[in-house]
């Protein structure tokens, strides 16, 4: 089976789906690997490194896809790129099918089996394949570094001849993988960290990292079976807004990471809260790609409102391209090992990982949730 690694075409995308170290591991699984020339350049992996690892390096994009059985990508392809993929091939990438209806239809027309890395269940068995977690690790770390660089203050407490400098206060909203990494990084830099999350399981993890956990109501737990947050009552939202407003006003940095699976990001930081923050403060909105947790976030941009700098960049994992690619390649390696036997795909729909992440196959929508959503939308 020929596995193709394409050069990413999304703007500002520096990651690559497979690194040279992973090539021999796929070969032991009965796969030959072809890499588009320059695919790893932005992640500092050269074509020669891929060749030395045993991969074919192909200059021509058309020739790259000839005979491809599997296409590995970080981000889903453009329609033009999808048309180069042989009919019936397998594509594995991050793919939000409800946001990319055009690509979903193209996959169906070309009978492509499309797996979405976002839809891999967050279970113990799937941990080694969970790219949302691995990429969130890079995102959470990078978010704090960007905030620290822009904040016109020190992070740690300092004793100087000119007096004592108080440490910066960091408020992290959402203690998933990105939030936990942000907490750890902010603590390493000497910040005082407060954390808000609607999931009770986050409290112990937060406190183990030396942060203070703030909560609205000890009796409410808004965690889903998959570990994501779910919608809460209107009464809870009102209490939540009051609590967040109180702590946001004291924060030097706010890192927001709150997401609801398959839905727009909840608006947790209002413009009024931003206006009440100290001038020079920084907000890094890690939910910007899904609309943002802050009311005035501009996805993909960095803006200043009411004296507060708000970062809505959506490429933070890409800015950590070396290690982000390394982790993602390992996720793909483990995913392929789970999905295949003797170099061929099993397509075992009794398996929850396969059933959860397979979006299309044989000209039909294979994923139950996506099929119901598409049918419900008419």
Residue 66, both tokens: 């000839």
Matching fold, domains 2-119+321-376 and 136-314: yes
CATH number of 136-314: 3.40.50.720
Q: For the segment 41-90, what is each residue's pLDDT rounded down to a tens digit? A: 999 999 999 999 999 999 998 899 999 999 999 999 999 999 999 999 99
Please report, for the chain, the start and end positions of each structural domain, with discontinuous segments joined by +. 2-119+321-376, 136-314
The pLDDT-based confidence of 226 (bands split at 50, 70, 90) is: low
Q: Which residues carry out catalysis?
A: 122, 127, 130, 133, 228
* pLDDT the model gives residue 224: 54
| Percent of residues, the chain, with pLDDT higher than 90 | 85
CA geometry: angle at 326 spanning 51 and 176, to 5°?
165
Quickly name the fold that domain 2-119+321-376 has.
Rossmann fold (3.40.50)
Note the pTM of the prediction, 2 decimals.
0.92
Residues 6+ apart with CB under 8 A from 85: 65, 68, 71, 77, 91, 110, 112
The answer, yes or no, to whether residue 223 has pLDDT greater than 60, is: no
* pLDDT the model gives residue 248: 96
The answer, yes or no, to whether residue 229 has pLDDT greater than 70, is: no
Range in 40-49, 147-156, 263-272 with the lowest mean pLDDT: 263-272
CA geometry: angle at 136 spanning 133 and 141, to 5°?
135
Tell me what the pLDDT averaged over the chain comes to.
93
* pLDDT the model gives residue 305: 97
Q: For the segment 330-351, what is each residue's pLDDT rounded down to a tens digit? A: 999 999 999 999 889 999 999 9
Q: For the segment 1-54, what is each residue's pLDDT rounded down to a tens digit? A: 999 999 999 999 999 999 999 999 999 999 999 999 999 999 999 999 999 999
């Amino acid at each position: 089976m020929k596995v193709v690694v394409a050069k990413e075409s999304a703007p500002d995308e520096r990651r690559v789906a497979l690194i040279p170290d992973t090539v021999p591991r796929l070969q032991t699984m009965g796969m030959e690997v072809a890499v588009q020339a320059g695919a790893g350049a932005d992640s500092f992996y050269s074509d020669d490194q891929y060749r030395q690892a045993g991969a074919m390096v192909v200059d021509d994009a058309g020739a790259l896809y000839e005979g491809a059985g599997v296409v590995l990508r970080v981000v889903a392809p453009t329609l033009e790129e999808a048309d180069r993929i042989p009919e019936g091939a397998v594509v594995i990438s991050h793919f939000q099918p409800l946001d990319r209806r055009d690509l979903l239809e193209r996959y169906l027309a070309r009978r492509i089996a499309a797996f979405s890395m976002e839809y891999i269940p967050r279970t113990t068995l799937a941990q080694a394949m969970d790219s949302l977690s691995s990429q969130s690790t890079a995102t959470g770390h990078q978010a704090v570094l960007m905030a620290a660089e822009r904040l016109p203050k020190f992070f740690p407490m300092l004793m100087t001849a000119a007096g004592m400098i108080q440490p910066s206060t960091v408020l992290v909203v959402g203690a998933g993988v990105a939030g936990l990494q942000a907490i750890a990084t902010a603590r390493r830099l000497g910040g005082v960290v407060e954390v808000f999350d609607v999931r009770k399981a986050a409290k112990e993890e937060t406190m183990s990292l030396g942060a203070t956990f703030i909560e609205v109501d000890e009796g409410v737990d808004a965690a889903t079976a998959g570990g994501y947050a779910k919608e809460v009552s209107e009464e809870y939202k009102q209490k939540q807004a009051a609590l967040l407003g109180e702590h946001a006003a004291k924060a030097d940095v706010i890192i927001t990471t709150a997401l609801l699976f398959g839905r727009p990001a909840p608006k947790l930081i209002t413009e009024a809260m931003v206006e009440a923050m100290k001038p020079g403060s920084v907000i890094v909105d890690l939910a910007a790609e899904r609309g943002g947790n802050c009311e005035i976030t501009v996805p993909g941009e960095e803006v200043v409102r009411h004296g507060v700098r708000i970062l809505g960049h959506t490429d933070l994992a890409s800015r950590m391209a070396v290690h982000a690619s390394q982790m993602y390649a390992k996720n793909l390696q483990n995913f392929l090992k789970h999905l295949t036997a003797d170099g061929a795909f099993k397509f075992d729909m009794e398996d929850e990982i396969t059933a959860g992440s397979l979006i299309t196959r044989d000209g039909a929508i294979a994923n139950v949730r996506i099929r119901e959503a598409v049918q419900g939308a008419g």
